[in-house]
Structure 1
Amino acid sequence: MRVSSSRGALPVFLSAVVRRPKVIGALIPSSPALARRLAAVVPSTESPVVVELGAGTGAVSTAIARRMPESGRHVAVELDGELAAHLQEAFPRIDVAHANAIHLDTVLAERGLDSVDAVVGGLPWSLIGPPQQQRILDHVAKVLAPNGAFTTFAYLHALPLGGARSFRELLEATFDEVLPTRVVWRNFPPALTYVCRRPHRS
């Protein structure tokens, strides 16, 4: 895997935080431990199609690439233009879409994809309004293969807050199975992940 030699990931990430603090939603990228947990739903055999939402500088992208077979396809959706450009340079095998995750249906349609095997969510859900959260989850539910899984994360300290509780309720309204994992302490802040399967089909 080739990593960009022009600018390191952390300076690019910090630049995005300064430019768009209400969009990035974190002070540092996800830790390798959290990235591995999120990527655990990625199939490691055959030719899976994996979508990553909010790829940032590629912390989770690296974990996905380490699991995914050479024949797999990885589409990364990133809203920030500078981060998207960094991703494409650092990970030339990833199909990077500079787009908002609420337009996931359009992103996939442009690529001729109507079904994916896994969706890995790195979005700052607390900064996204409930209607937009629901729209994104509806798109995920629509394209997820019957045996596929969606995974995302929540910071431990935020779980008691109303926004985090409402998001958990949205997950449970969208998926038949929502499994919280044990806490990843080796992340700042500590976080847990949700593994979601079997969308409720409308």
Structure 2
Amino acid sequence: MLQNLEPPKNAFADNARFIRSLIENPRLVGAVSPSGPVLAKTMASHVDISGDAPIVELGPGTGPVTQALLERGVAPERLILVEYETKFCDLLRKRFPGVNVVQGDAYGLKKTLAGKIEGPIASIVSSLPLLNQPEADRLRLFDEAFEMIAPGGVFVQFTYSLWVSPMPLKRHANRAAYTADGLAPIWLNLPPARVWVYKRAR
């Protein structure tokens, strides 16, 4: 399945892309380098890859989490990547043929994915720098996401804030509707990061 993929060939080039994007738009990028392989694999490991419903990735950047999902066995045609930056979209289409790349705003997720998916989403994996955004925008994204996620599906998010959930569930008007599981910090990532897995509460 992966023999047709063009894997990342130059980590320095990817880092340079992130730095340029960070300088141009720090609120939307929020990182100086792509996610490391341990972080990417950790995020991918919490996605149920059974079935054939679409899996949506938000803020894929240069594609390290995309690569981890494909290596785990997700079929390329199941992946829908929502990316705001044009240059990252062009790179993703070249690097991952067969994967669906949608250029658009993840903070208007229902509008961005309108007409792009059929049926519910299996899971969402996000590398968005949520803590760079106003709380209202984060909560709107979260609510829209779970309107589209199938029962039992998860929203997987990483953050560089090791002790604070990027989704402010304690202040959420519907906080009882969701649960949050913060995994152990990944110290091997640069900078260290933490993965959070959100689900509907039973």
TM-score in terms of structure 2 length: 0.85
For 1:76-115, what aligned pairs fall within 5 Å after superposition? 76-115=81-120
- Aligned residue pairs total 196
The superposition leaves residues 44-73 of structure 1 with CA deviations (integer Å, 9 ceiling, x where unpaired) of 333241001111111111111112333751
User: SS in structure 1 opposite 2:191?
Assistant: coil
Change (3 A) 1:183 1:55: same
Question: Match of 1:15, SS?
Answer: helix
Between the aligned partners of 1:174 and 1:90, the Cα distance in structure 2 is: 40
Residue 182 in 1 paired to residue 187 in 2?
Answer: no
Over 3 Å counting, the alpha-carbon distance change for 1:134 and 1:165 in structure 2 is closer
Tell me, yes or no, if the aligned pair for 2:184 and 2:194 is still in contact at 8 Å.
Answer: yes
Cα RMSD, aligned residues only: 2.6
Stretch of structure 1 that moved more, 55-64 or 166-175: 166-175
2:194 paired with 1:192 = yes
Show structure 2 runs of 5+ residues with no match.
none
Q: Does 1:2 align with 2:2?
A: no
Tell me the SS of whatever aligns to 1:145: coil
Extract structure 1 runs of 4+ deviating beyond 6 A.
Answer: 4-7
**Is contact 2:76–2:99 with CA below 8 Å preserved after alignment?**
no
Separation of aligned partners in 1, 2:67 and 2:194: 19
Query: Alignment partner of 1:190: what SS?
Result: coil
Q: Distance in 1 between matches of 2:171 and 2:73?
A: 29
Match of 1:169 in 2: 170
TM-score, normalization: structure 1?
Answer: 0.85
Identify the residue that residue 72 of structure 2 maps to in structure 1. 67
- Greater strand share, 1 or 2? 1
Structure 1: state its 5+ residue gaps. Answer: none
What one-letter code is carried by the residue in structure 2 that aligns with 1:2?
E
Deviations 1:1-54 (A, max 9, x none): 224779943332232223222321011111111111111122233324100111
Partners of 2:46 and 2:128 in 1: CA distance: 17
- State whether residues 138 and 167 of structure 2, in contact with CA within 8 Å, keep that contact through their aligned partners in structure 1: no
Percent identity at matched positions? 26
